[in-house]
A and B are shown apart, each in its own frame.
Chain A
Amino acid sequence: MEKVHTTCIYCGCGCGLILHVEDGRVMGASPSPLHPMSRGRLCIKGWLAGEFVNHPDRLRHPLVRDGERFVRATWEEALSFTAASLKAIGQEFGADGVGVLTSAKGTNEENYLLMKLARAGLKTNNVDHVARLCHAPTVAALSYAFGSGAMTDSISSLARSDAILIVGSNTTEQHPLVASYILQARANGAKLIVVDPRKTQLAKLADLHLRPRPGTDIAWINALLHVIIRESLHDKEFIDARTDGFEAVRQAVSSCTPDWAGAISGIEKGDLEKAARIFGSAEKGAVVYAMGITQHTVGTDNVQALANLVLATGNIGREGTGLCPLRGHQNVQGACDMGALPDLYCGYQKVQLSRQRFEQAWGTELPDRPGLTALEMLSAAEEGKLRGLFIVGENPMMSYPDSGRVRKALDCLEFLAVCDIFPTETTELADVILPAASFAEKDGTFTSTERRIQRIRRALDPPGEARPEIEIASDLLQRLGVPADYASAAEVMEEISTLSAQYGGVHYDRLGVNGLQWPCPSRNHPGTGTLHAESFPIGRARFRAVEHREPHEMADGEYPLTLSTGRSLYHFHTGTMTRRTSLLDREVPTPVVDISPEDAKLLQIRGGQTVIVETRRGSIRLEARVTDSMPKGNIFVPIHFCEAPANALTAQTLDPQSKIPEYKVSAARIRRA
């Protein structure tokens, strides 16, 4: 039995993992004792992380659609068909008639090459990935506020905080290793404030649990700032020395009294004041947030409101402070860093400003207009403007909002190629299916939520003829006339490091168990744990006043409940991996809708009963679970289950700034089946 050091494939924590390999199979996994963040610990998903790799359902051969069925094809046939189809559509309808969706489950090198494939190969900036559905508001808001859209400190530094505000993050379930550091801080005496409509495990352990009505975050965050300023708890010295725009925010929040915010959000005035005093008087305060903040039509403003809070209290640039967006996928940070975004190249270089640099580097002309975001691509497909799509390691049929509309859009396409490790709801609609190598079967790097660039290593061969996406992307690039003769993933990283300042000093020979935290601009640079210690990349940080706006769809007489969607500890996203992992599938085998005891009584629903949840988009049928973790008027549906897809219910209403859809608020109703 061999043991191979790699990085966990699930959430953004980026834990060190050792895979146990014997006779070409993954026999188990265990934690990496010396990993700087996980330190020999793992969550239950991590312990079971190798199991899906050898699942019999793995895609083994390229498949090409023949009417209603798929037939086995050679790689040559599948790739030449893919390249020719995308090229033909580009020639007929213009280059922007095609698009590429890359994968936050892929490596940095793969995302870089797929981004290059879209831009240099297909001549379109229509390239995006799942960050659009999770932390696009973080990238947008924090790039404006700080000049860098990433977690500002290391995960382990949370243990040294005095006060931690946890907003819209079920941390013990979604990021267990981050939760372990939050609990360590708590054991050291730190105060925890959890803001979440649901009574999560962390909420039960917190000093203060505030339960806002979903979609009212700006109101209560502004009220916290109001109290902090009113009681002179803000850090005037820091504000003067390192920020701009405080005055406008001070004026804007002057009317945001706790009474006013209480009326909107339903949080008691006294609790808001208490929270403001705890956070405002902390020597080292940190804010941890996730999808509960971003997945709103005001997602970008929500993040800015939190940025205003940490700036006003001077809680940034020091250990134990900062703003901590928790990334959901193990490499969603990296996919953003690699420029799998329609308006940015790798290193967050704007398409409009840096085109020449990339034209020179890649020796080809590049498109000048920013492309479409993920959901805009689907809308364009519905309108017939986008005709060809290459989806790599994503399952939009399950993960994008309003699956009925997603289906319609994908059906409108002339050509759809999907590259994945398992058959999914999306591969079913494809014209070409390309089998990919899993994380255990390839080399590359992942970048975790704390900006730690770490290696994954090939521990065994891919099943059948499956190939790493790096080879697939290189092959397609060459077929589209762009030289792409990469001998290894390390070689791709060498190219990335010349084009992206943050990764300038990242070379495979430097990536040991500690990895490197970006920015790491040069070979001798040790990497950066805490961002913005001396200055911000934009010089001075920027406040921006934000106002409360109601969600796109409010509960009403017809649909009286507010539906939120999210994850469970035991499953990951669309369940392609975790539902093929025996213990995880056994732990949570079926979907349930969580409903409060009050609502259940009113609607005469008992726990375990089958119910139908409906919104204006669609309906699903699943079991009800009556739990006091839900506040009255709210229901919660997990996103992992194809038999009751939560996204049949959600809408494609977007945040105008970051184009993220509002997953967290939909008006819904529920009835007995």
Chain B
Amino acid sequence: MRAFLPGDRLKSLLTALGTHMDVVAPQLVEGAVVFASWKGQEIALQENSLLPPLEFLLPQRDVLFRYTQDSGRYSFVEPSAKFRLIFGIRSCDLCAVAALDKIFGSAPADHPYFDKRRSTVLVALNCTRPGENCFCSSSGSGPECQDLFDLLLTEIRDGYLAETGSPAGIMILKEHPDLFLDAQESHLAEKRDVLRNANSALPVREERSAANVRVAMEKADWDALGLQCLNCGSCTFVCPVCHCFSIFDAGVPDGERLRCRDTCLLSGFSRMAGGANPRISQGERLHNWYLDKFEYIPQKTGLAGCVGCGRCSRVCLAQMDRWSLEVGR
């Protein structure tokens, strides 16, 4: 199903949707685009956010359950997932959701993830304004969204072309007939134009294709790279495909079991209880991160472990060349 949403009606649509769910939309905080609960702020579509909206499916800190002790017996309460709509998720991040669905879906399925996933509506946005670090076209994950969205918007002149991808998307169109207009052939032509422009705006970065990164990995001097790494973990925290976590209990005797985003770049991540560590050096840990993205995830899921969003280059404290893996001076 297709429809046209005039640009000045976007806020009305989000307001209407916000009456029965938490609408998350890109907005500005001190000039920077972030995904946060939308309460009427200006919507910021000029670039993708530094932190991917995956944080709403796999939060930095997530309460798995609360425990209360009474006379030596424990009782547990699991929080229920919020009914949520993410507006403006882009193709790179959608491809990451596809990978996470497979990873968390392999037996045994991860219930805290799927509780959130099932109660989240994804309103995607075709990426017509790629950022300077982006290379999704070289990694096959953009700029056009292929699937997994409930509703897909493309920013065209005077508004958005809306295309449905699931019953939830169809419901959005059907429930708001006053906001959507019929889509015209011209709208489709415009969509093709803006995507063609976006594609040509994206630099062709052959060196960043998975095949070439694998070649660079073979040649890389991991010890030297490890020596330059500043152990900040930023690349793992901004990567939309990274999903490692650890579980901690906070509070005695009553408290919460928390699942916290973790990073394989910390030595404690792979350290055994007895102190032995299979990945003892920072270079080995960095190598593992690459192996995970470019070997293990593709092998296990058949999907790319790197979606070409370029965020890890942007946040690297050591300003490493993440693709050529050459050791700078």
A-side residues, CB < 8 A to B, are 1-5, 16, 18, 20, 26-34, 40-44, 46-47, 51, 54-56, 172, 176-177, 179-180, 183-184, 186-187, 189, 201, 204-205, 512-513, 569, 582-583, 586-589, 608
Contacts and interface: CB of A to CB of B under 8 A. Distances in A.
A189 B318 CA distance: 15
A180 B318 CA distance: 6
Nearest to A186: B329
B29 A583 contact: no
Contacts of A582: 246, 248, 250, 258, 260
A582 B252 CA distance: 15
Contacts of B37: 1-2
Contacts of A27: 59-61
Interface string B257-300: 01011110011100000010000000000000000000000000
B61 A513 contact: no
Given A43-B232, A55-B250, A187-B319, A20 B255 contact: no
Nearest to B63: A25
Measured as residues with beta carbon below 8 angstroms from the partner, the interface class of chain B is 35 or more
A187 B50 CA distance: 25
Interface in B218-249: 227-228, 230-234, 237, 246, 248
13 contacts: A5-B30, A16-B30, A20-B36, A20-B55, A29-B60, A33-B32, A47-B234, A47-B237, A56-B250, A183-B318, A582-B250, A586-B246, A589-B268
B26 to A, nearest CB: 11
Contacts of B231: 43-44, 569
Contacts of A179: 230, 317
B32 A34 contact: yes
Sort A-B residue pairs by CB-CB distance and give the 10 closest, nearest first.
A28-B60, A33-B32, A513-B30, A56-B251, A582-B248, A587-B268, A3-B36, A5-B30, A586-B268, A30-B51
Given A28-B61, A43-B230, A56-B251, A1 B56 contact: yes
A586 B61 CA distance: 16
Nearest to B34: A3
A588 B31 CA distance: 36
B32 A32 contact: yes
Interface of B: 22, 24, 29-34, 36-37, 50-51, 55-56, 59-61, 227-228, 230-234, 237, 246, 248, 250-252, 255, 258, 260-263, 266-268, 275, 314-319, 328-329
A164 B228 CA distance: 17
Nearest to B328: A187
Nearest to A26: B61
Grouping DSSP codes into helix (H, G, I), strand (E, B) and loop, the A interface class, with mixed when no group exceeds half, is: mixed
Contact of B230 (A16, A32, A180, A186): A180
Given A41-B315, A186-B329, A205 B232 contact: no
A84 to B, nearest CB: 36
B227 A205 contact: yes
Given A28-B60, A47-B237, A201-B227, A513 B275 contact: no
Contacts of A33: 32-33, 50
Interface of B is mostly: mixed
Nearest to B236: A47
A4 B30 CA distance: 9
A583 B233 CA distance: 11
Contact of A51 (B61, B251, B252, B329): B61
A513 B56 CA distance: 25
Given A5-B29, A40-B314, A31 B50 contact: yes
Residue of B30, B248, B251 with most partner-chain A CB within 10 A: B30
B118 to A, nearest CB: 19
A40 B50 contact: yes
B29 A18 contact: yes
Nearest to B31: A34
B286 to A, nearest CB: 14
Contacts of A31: 50, 234, 315
Contact of B232 (A3, A47, A183, A512): A47
B318 A42 contact: no
B329 A187 contact: yes
B260 A30 contact: no
Given A34-B30, A184-B319, A187-B319, A583 B266 contact: yes
B59 A28 contact: yes
Contacts of A177: 317
Given A20-B55, A41-B316, 16 more contacts: A1-B56, A28-B59, A28-B261, A29-B60, A31-B234, A34-B31, A40-B32, A43-B231, A44-B231, A47-B234, A51-B260, A176-B230, A179-B230, A186-B329, A582-B260, A583-B263
